[in-house]
Amino acid sequence: MSIVVTGATGHLGRHVVEQLLEKVPADRITAVVRDRDRAAGLAARGVRLAVADYNSPETFDGLFTAGDRVLLISGNEFDKGRVQQHTVVIEAARKAGVALLAYTSAPSSLTAALADDHRATEDVLVGSGLPYVLLRNGWYHENYTEQLAPVLEHGAVMQAAGEGRISSASRADYAAAAVAVLTGEGHENKAYELGGDEAWGFAEYAAELSRQTGQEIVYTPVSTEAYADILTGAGLPGPLAAVLAGVDGAIEKGELIVSTGDLSRLAGRPTTPLAEAVSAALKA
């Protein structure tokens, strides 16, 4: 029996594996990766590696074994049929008879197009008959703090979220919730709505950046159309830019405010404050 993490060298997956290593022996962890070389560091620490690709169903043949606990981290290839990609993993897990499959989804309150693939994947998973957990992750601090260069260059935070607020948290926070589910008991067939302890707005974010940098940074709200144009101008594909602009529209409506407290309860600690994430990003 292994704890199996797909997308293990991705942004979230790495955090999950690192935190698992603090709780279980390395040889009980299987990291599913597309590129073995990128996971060399994990292999050196005793983590088992399995090479597989969501786009190649045959690579999942025999990957899982009965009793495994699996974390399916949602794919980020928006143009390659994510629901079908996820179904490949779910079907392989069903055939193997895994003990639990946890999926990183999106908050049930989110109606933007980004949520469509998640809702469809949830339907596939629940319909599979597998014991499941729906980890409905909210937005990540890093979606903003890893994009500070243009903000600092222009002295402006530009978003299409109006006065909307958002309950974001760090990837490490969401990873802690996943680890709690993968290593704990009593989570079968449950859905967790996950978000940070404190919601914030982009005017507050700009003010926090100003405070920590000593530079005047203002929040400039724009339309979703203008924001999509900004993103495509920065090099994002048009469909992805439209999806992200749609998320901003959802933020303006309050759809990414998550007040359940599920994330801090699963993690066993308060979630990372936005100010702390900003500080870490500026130091990096």
Q: Indicate whether 258 pLDDT > 80.
A: yes
Q: Which residues have C-beta within 8 Å of that of residue 230, sequence separation ≥ 6?
A: 158, 222
Structural contact between residues 105 and 39, judged by C-beta atoms closer than 8 angstroms: no
Structural contact between residues 125 and 132, judged by C-beta atoms closer than 8 angstroms: yes
* Backbone conformation region of residue 206, classed left if phi is above 0, alpha if psi is from -120 to 50, else beta: alpha
Per-residue pLDDT of 162-213, as tens digits, reads 999 999 999 999 999 999 999 999 999 999 999 999 999 999 999 999 999 9
Written as six digits, the tokens of 197 are: 């302890």
Q: Is residue 37 part of a domain?
A: yes
Q: Is residue 110 part of a domain?
A: yes
Per-residue pLDDT of 67-117, as tens digits, reads 999 999 998 776 668 999 999 999 999 999 999 999 999 999 999 999 999
Q: Any idea what the CATH number is for the domain that residue 12 is in?
A: 3.40.50.720
Q: Is residue 58 part of a domain?
A: yes
Q: Is residue 156 part of a domain?
A: no
Structural contact between residues 89 and 6, judged by C-beta atoms closer than 8 angstroms: yes
Residue 211 host element (H or E): helix 202-213
pTM for this structure? 0.96
- Domain count of the chain? 1
Q: Is residue 274 part of a domain?
A: no
Structural contact between residues 130 and 162, judged by C-beta atoms closer than 8 angstroms: no
Mean pLDDT value across the chain: 96
Q: Is residue 217 part of a domain?
A: no
68 vs 32: CA distance, rounded Å: 13
Structural contact between residues 131 and 100, judged by C-beta atoms closer than 8 angstroms: yes
